[in-house]
A and B are shown apart, each in its own frame.
Chain A
Amino acid sequence: QQPVQSPQAVILREGEDAVINCSSSKALYSVHWYRQKHGEAPVFLMILLKGGEQKGHEKISASFNEKKQQSSLYLTASQLSYSGTYFCGTGGGSEKLVFGKGTKLTVNP
């Protein structure tokens, strides 16, 4: 099943913080976060794996609550470059990765 992301959209001023949530009705093995700018390819942000392992390469943090089947992406001190649509993908292992519908983030000066 497709994970549910919230909020659907958020507008920030530069320097403000934001949290994007992703929840699933299925037990999660992994959660993947991507950012996509309009007309471009999704870009990897972070993977969170069951058991606590995290893999990422940007200054973005995330949490993974296995019991609640939820993940949250934390964007602090947002920059203009953070604007885009954020997708979470759930699954992993032998299962396909299923992406949510996305959260559109707009950062204004």
Chain B
Amino acid sequence: DSGVTQTPKHLITATGQRVTLRCSPRSGDLSVYWYQQSLDQGLQFLIQYYNGEERAKGNILERFSAQQFPDLHSELNLSSLELGDSALYFCASSVYGSTDTQYFGPGTRLTVL
């Protein structure tokens, strides 16, 4: 158990819908990262937040947005969902920045039908 929690574990929805994925980092960690992993693909970095502020951005679509709240939990919002958005979405946290160990949550499996 990494100490990072993600909800929900599974999510099945239809094209065009909007969903919210939630992540709670390990106690004491200030950075939260979001990754997308499609079938047989590597980890694609989406976005990083540090202590409530956006720190780094990766290949995140405009239809996706994220935020980190004062209690440091983070949410990833996916809208106008397409079939290709079906993937495992991981959240990770670290104490400070990306030179620190990143601890991954169990992931949310999103299926868009």
A residues in contact (CB < 8 Å) with B: 2, 29-30, 32, 34, 40-44, 47, 49, 55, 87, 89, 91-102
Give B contacts to A, CB under 8 Å.
2, 33, 35, 41-45, 48, 56-58, 90, 97-107
CA distance A96 to B45 in the complex (A): 8
Interface SS, B side: loop
Which of these, A32, A87, A92, A94, contacts B42 with CB under 8 Å?
Answer: A87
- Given A41-B2, A43-B104, A30 contacting B42 (CB threshold 8 A): no
**Between-chain CB contacts (< 8 Å), 28 pairs:** A2-B42, A30-B98, A30-B99, A32-B101, A41-B2, A41-B90, A41-B104, A42-B43, A42-B104, A43-B2, A43-B104, A44-B101, A55-B101, A92-B99, A93-B98, A95-B56, A96-B48, A96-B56, A96-B98, A97-B98, A98-B45, A98-B58, A99-B35, A99-B43, A99-B44, A100-B42, A101-B42, A102-B42
